[in-house]
């Protein structure tokens, strides 16, 4: 056997059931991996190279093994972010090992990691679990790419033992997207819905309308956010308007498992977007920021199309807990007591997402603790087992921020209180539920991708403030307005399927709720009568 570090030799990776071998031939120069592309990807990624699968017999040892030959790709094939899901590793970033020769297993692990883009699920199935965990820990130390996460998340989450959170959720941030949208979306596709996708499109992205229309090909999309930063000129951002939403609805069964949608732009998203959002069968929460003039009487218009407009909140109240409680059963009112706990709840949920090594376990479905119990528990007796300061430990200004927390927990909560009916109706089984402490995770692993920046001057912020330019400034009569709409028909009618057994609301809470409803109804009627009067003057 030749040493794998010799230049001018080639390598064929042979992975088999109980041991690993490396057969050597013409390797490219040191620092260039053999394989860049997933050779077993779907047609969405272009033509695939067939794999040769052989059963081999070693006469000297008597061992029988399987061997795959993976064709190498063009080493000069470059192009922006085309390989973002399986990035090339550079030799400068390879950790130094101990002195002396490395074991065969160590050499094989390095070869597999360096060529992860060409490793398929077929290869991974032939590796023992013990070696898979060793490979995963190597990726954790170096940085997990999406392709590796998809492979290991599917295989290792079936093992009967506690798992790290990093196997169940993936996040990646691309600061300055330079390629067309499909380059970023295609790796997020899962035709069998082995995982959910969460996509954020923000500052610096100038995708065409035709590119955005193709998002409906992402059938496993669970949450979508399109956010125009406050200081982003309209000419430098993707064109997002009512016509885009209408175009999405004209496809067959658009966004079948999309539960959360957020669109924050400075114009062209009007109240008519509610009409098109109704066409998305699983959508439960629609968060929108747009020009106030385009949203006349949103309460009445929302009710007409099956939505309810949540009470507007100040910036101090705009917490993750508030969004979650908007989806809670009507008996649970977002009271002042809960409002005082918002900062603590948000910190717990954000810190859990930040700690990739937080331990999770799987329990039988409907035996998981209701997340609503934790949200409404004002005593906060539970002490997290993860690092509660994990969200602030990251040194990187944007790559370490848990931007996925908002969509991650909303998707999970909607699934729990609705019994995941949207997934069950499409044949996706959720017999086991992933939990971390008192928190129920989404019924499927989730991969999140953030394109661009949403903070002022760059970076990512989880406390968004959207203030437009010119006529859309704060002091203008045509200022921005931020609204959240929920669709109670999606959740409330299915609460009997969920694990939640909410206590009866107090009379004081019920009276507050009814008074708020009466007040909004009166305001709506007053506006209607005033409109009739003004119209009579013009006749």
Q: pLDDT digits over 306-327, tens only?
A: 999 998 776 556 789 899 999 9
pLDDT band at 52, cuts 50/70/90? Answer: low
Q: What is the pLDDT of residue 331?
A: 67
Same domain (yes/no): 25, 120: yes
Number of independent structural domains in the chain: 3
Between 247 and 430, where is the model more confident?
Answer: 247
Same domain (yes/no): 210, 133: no
Closest of 188, 192, 235, 182 to residue 213, by C-alpha: 182
Between 262 and 472, where is the model more confident?
Answer: 262
Same domain (yes/no): 524, 456: no
Identify the three-state secondary structure at position 201.
strand
Q: Is the pLDDT of residue 179 over 60?
A: yes
Same domain (yes/no): 209, 136: no
DSSP bridge partners of 435: 361, 440
Phi then psi dihedrals of residue 181, to 5 deg: -60, -35
Domain residue limits at 68? 11-146
DSSP bridge partners of 428: none
Place of tokens 């290991």: 152
Same domain (yes/no): 450, 308: yes
Q: For residue 442, what is the DSSP state?
A: P
CA atoms within 13 A on the CB side of 191: 4
Report d(CA 367, CA 372) in Å as an integer: 14
DSSP bridge partners of 52: 69
Same domain (yes/no): 188, 322: yes
Same domain (yes/no): 405, 285: yes
Q: What's the mean per-residue pLDDT of the chain?
A: 76
Same domain (yes/no): 91, 56: yes
Q: Is residue 154 part of a domain?
A: no
Q: Is the pLDDT of residue 163 over 50?
A: yes
Report d(CA 220, CA 214) in Å as an integer: 13
Q: pLDDT digits over 357-374, tens only?
A: 899 999 887 788 888 888
Same domain (yes/no): 135, 170: no
Q: pLDDT digits over 482-528, tens only?
A: 999 999 877 665 554 444 333 344 434 444 444 445 445 445 444 44
Q: What is the pLDDT of residue 432?
A: 85
Q: Is residue 539 part of a domain?
A: no
The segment with the largest mean pLDDT, out of 80-84, 98-102, 209-213, is 209-213
Q: Which of 50-54, 190-194, 262-266, 343-347 has the lowest mean pLDDT?
A: 50-54
Q: How many other C-beta atoms are found inside a 10 Å radius of the C-beta of residue 34?
A: 21
- pTM, rounded to two decimals: 0.76
């Amino acid at each position: 056997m030749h040493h794998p570090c010799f230049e001018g030799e080639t390598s064929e990776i042979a992975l088999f059931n109980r041991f690993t071998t490396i057969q050597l031939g013409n390797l490219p120069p040191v620092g260039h991996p053999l394989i860049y592309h997933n050779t077993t990807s779907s047609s969405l990624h272009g033509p695939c190279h067939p794999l040769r699968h052989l059963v081999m017999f070693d006469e000297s040892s008597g061992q029988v093994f399987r061997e795959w030959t993976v064709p190498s790709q063009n080493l000069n094939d470059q192009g922006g972010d085309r390989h973002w899901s399986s990035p090339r590793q550079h030799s400068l970033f390879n950790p130094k090992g101990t002195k002396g020769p490395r074991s065969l297993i160590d050499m094989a692990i390095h070869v597999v990691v360096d060529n992860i883009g060409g490793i398929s699920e077929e290869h991974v199935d032939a590796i023992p679990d013990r070696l898979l965990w060793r490979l995963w820990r190597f990726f954790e130390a170096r940085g997990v790419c999406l392709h590796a996460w998809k492979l290991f998340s599917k295989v290792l989450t079936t093992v009967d033992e506690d798992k790290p959170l990093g196997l169940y959720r993936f996040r990646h941030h691309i600061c300055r997207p330079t390629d067309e949208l499909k380059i970023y979306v295609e790796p997020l596709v899962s035709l069998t819905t082995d995982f959910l996708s969460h996509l954020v499109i923000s500052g610096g992205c100038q995708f065409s309308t035709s590119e955005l229309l193709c998002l409906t090909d992402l059938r496993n999309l669970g949450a979508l956010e399109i956010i125009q930063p406050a200081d982003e000129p309209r000419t430098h951002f993707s064109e997002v308007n009512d016509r885009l939403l209408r175009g999405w609805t004209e496809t067959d069964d658009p966004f079948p498992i999309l539960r959360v949608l957020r669109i924050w732009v400075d114009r062209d998203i009007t109240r008519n977007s509610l009409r098109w959002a109704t066409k998305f069968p699983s959508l439960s929460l629609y968060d929108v920021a747009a020009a106030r003039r385009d949203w006349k009487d949103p309460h009445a218009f929302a009710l007409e199309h099956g939505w309810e407009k949540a009470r507007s909140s100040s910036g101090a109240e705009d917490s993750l807990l508030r969004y979650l409680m908007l989806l809670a059963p009507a008996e649970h009112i977002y009271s002042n007591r809960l409002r005082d706990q918002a900062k603590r709840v948000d910190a717990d949920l954000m810190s859990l997402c930040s700690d990739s090594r937080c331990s999770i376990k799987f329990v039988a479905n409907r035996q998981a603790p209701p997340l609503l119990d934790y949200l409404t528990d004002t005593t906060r007796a539970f002490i997290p087992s993860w690092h509660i300061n994990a969200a602030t430990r990251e040194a990187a200004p944007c790559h370490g921020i848990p931007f996925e927390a908002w969509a991650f927990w909303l998707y999970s909560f909607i699934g729990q209180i609705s019994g995941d009916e949207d997934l069950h109706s499409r044949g996706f089984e959720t017999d086991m539920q992933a939990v971390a402490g008192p928190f129920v995770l989404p019924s499927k692993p989730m991969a999140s991708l953030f394109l661009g920046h949403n903070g002022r001057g760059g970076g990512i912020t989880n406390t968004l403030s959207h203030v437009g330019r010119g006529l859309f400034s704060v002091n203008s009569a045509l200022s921005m307005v931020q609204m959240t709409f929920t669709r109670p028909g999606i959740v409330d009618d299915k609460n009997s399927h969920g694990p939640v057994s909410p206590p009866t609301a107090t009379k004081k809470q019920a009276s507050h709720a009814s008074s708020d409803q009466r007040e909004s109804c009166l305001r709506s009627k007053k506006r209607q009568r005033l409109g009739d009067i003004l119209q009579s003057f013009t006749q």
